[in-house]
Structure 1
Amino acid sequence: MATFAMTRERIFRELVERSNRSGNAIWLARMIASWRVGEGALPDYLGLSPEQFNNLRSHCFSDIALPHLAVSGKTVDYSRMLEKQDLETLLGDFRAPDVAETEWIIAILVAGCLGSDHLWQDLGLWSRSELSGLMSHNFPELAARNNKDMKWKKFLYKQLCEMEGLNLCRAPSCQVCQDYGLCFASEESTSVIDQVERNFNRDA
């Protein structure tokens, strides 16, 4: 576990030190550092197209050679993601106009939504608060709508339902819903380090 943490930290520090210091640099560096050691759910190219991946690298981390293959070997199957275009449209409609990296952030977020854990974990971020910061920076008006602190993956899909005029929740309000904890419970209890430690103990 210590080796994993040190390796990820080293990659992260190198990325930040040689980044363009943009508002997204730290979040992208954290995601890439996790991806480089096999954590998170992001596939090859971080879920970007090869062209997008190269453009992101050139823009944010021009002096660093980044491998394009995911160490985890994970892939994304967009054929089972009927909402892919809708998610891209939702995020695109709310993107901050003056943030250069948001095009790539959108593609990475959509790829992360195919993961099975909390969105911040699937992205390889190190805490939920980092995802909240990323959302506020890149999609400020959309992030402001999450004023009840709903889990981000749940929140994004709720926005899609509302766009289609759908209401899949039977409860009159979130506060009285028996599934309240599924949408609003803390996501910080399961960190990436916790996952690694559990996997290590399981395989030992």
Structure 2
Amino acid sequence: MSDLHQFQVLRGKGISRGARMSDRWQHLQSSKAGQWLRMDLEMDFDEYALACVFSRALEEIEAGQASATEATGLSRAELRDILTRSFPAKLIDAFFPGEASDPELGTEEGLLRELLLSHARHNDPVSARFAKIIARRALRDDHLWQDLGLLEPAELGRLFAMHFPTLAAGNTNNMRWKKYLYRKLCEAEGFSLCAAPSCQECSDFEACFGPETDGGRC
């Protein structure tokens, strides 16, 4: 079984064992990091989301498109910590076939990361790591839920509600998440790229609020 297939199996295991139904909407009062993913235990939603992200990342790694750090936005130390805590040891080497440097942070990614971190749960390292992952994966060309390897848009909404609750609360009209993030960046800079008086009167309404089934940076 290939390394990529093993991550896909872990993702599927999380679905079949109820990871998407596991209740992590409330902030955990006690850390369960030591009980993270094992092959014989049920995944919680965070672990399922990470398995999805790493499955997508490994596709890029195996295709020679990116290193582990480039695909995830995480440092080598952060990746090793997550993999050691959460995944079978034999999968760690799949992410480090060679010497990979820590990811370089471009201006766009830096702004996205700063936005996400400003809304992340206070003193929650898991939320901080998801901020880095989302900021990096948002630079890819698909819908954000697809960039993260999730199976449906609703899972992305859950991820935001869990780790970036104040940011999620502002998306009252269910705008596509990538559009929403970039709109928030524009608001923070004091300008808007849209001249329409309201979203409902905008000629590009479907581009922001339509079904997330087509491709493109949205």
Paired residue for 1:34, among 56, 71, 75?
56
What CA distance in whole angstroms lies between the structure 2 residues aligned with 1:189 and 1:54?
34
Matches within 5 A, 1:17-166: 17-18=38-39, 21-38=43-60, 44-45=68-69, 46-61=72-87, 63=89, 65-66=91-92, 67-68=94-95, 81-97=106-122, 99-166=124-191
Deviation string, structure 1 residues 101-128 (Cα, Å, up to 9, x no partner): 1122111111111111111111211111
Q: Structure 1 residues 43, 154: CA separation in 2 closer, same or farther (over 3 Å shift)?
A: farther
How far residue 17 of structure 1 moved from its aligned partner, in angstroms, is 4.1
How far residue 97 of structure 1 moved from its aligned partner, in angstroms, is 2.1
What CA distance in whole angstroms lies between the structure 1 residues aligned with 2:89 and 2:12?
14
More deviation, 167-176/117-126: 117-126
Q: Structure 1 residues 161, 110: CA separation in 2 closer, same or farther (over 3 Å shift)?
A: same
**Are 2:161 and 2:168, in contact at CA under 8 Å, matched by a contact in 1?**
yes
What CA distance in whole angstroms lies between the structure 1 residues aligned with 2:45 and 2:123?
11
**Are 1:113 and 1:119, in contact at CA under 8 Å, matched by a contact in 2?**
yes
1:117 is paired with a residue whose SS is: coil
Correspondence for 1:3: none
Correspondence for 1:201: none
More deviation, 115-124/27-36: 27-36
How far residue 44 of structure 1 moved from its aligned partner, in angstroms, is 2.1
Amino-acid identity (%): 30
Long gaps (5+) in structure 2: 15-36, 98-102
Q: TM-score, normalised by structure 2?
A: 0.69
Q: TM-score, normalised by structure 1?
A: 0.74
How far residue 47 of structure 1 moved from its aligned partner, in angstroms, is 2.5
**Are 1:88 and 1:110, in contact at CA under 8 Å, matched by a contact in 2?**
yes
- Greater relative contact order (Cα 8 A, min sep 6): structure 1 or 2? 1
What CA distance in whole angstroms lies between the structure 2 residues aligned with 1:101 and 1:38?
23
Q: Structure 1 residues 125, 85: CA separation in 2 closer, same or farther (over 3 Å shift)?
A: same
What CA distance in whole angstroms lies between the structure 2 residues aligned with 1:62 and 1:20?
14
How far residue 172 of structure 1 moved from its aligned partner, in angstroms, is 0.1
What CA distance in whole angstroms lies between the structure 2 residues aligned with 1:42 and 1:187?
26
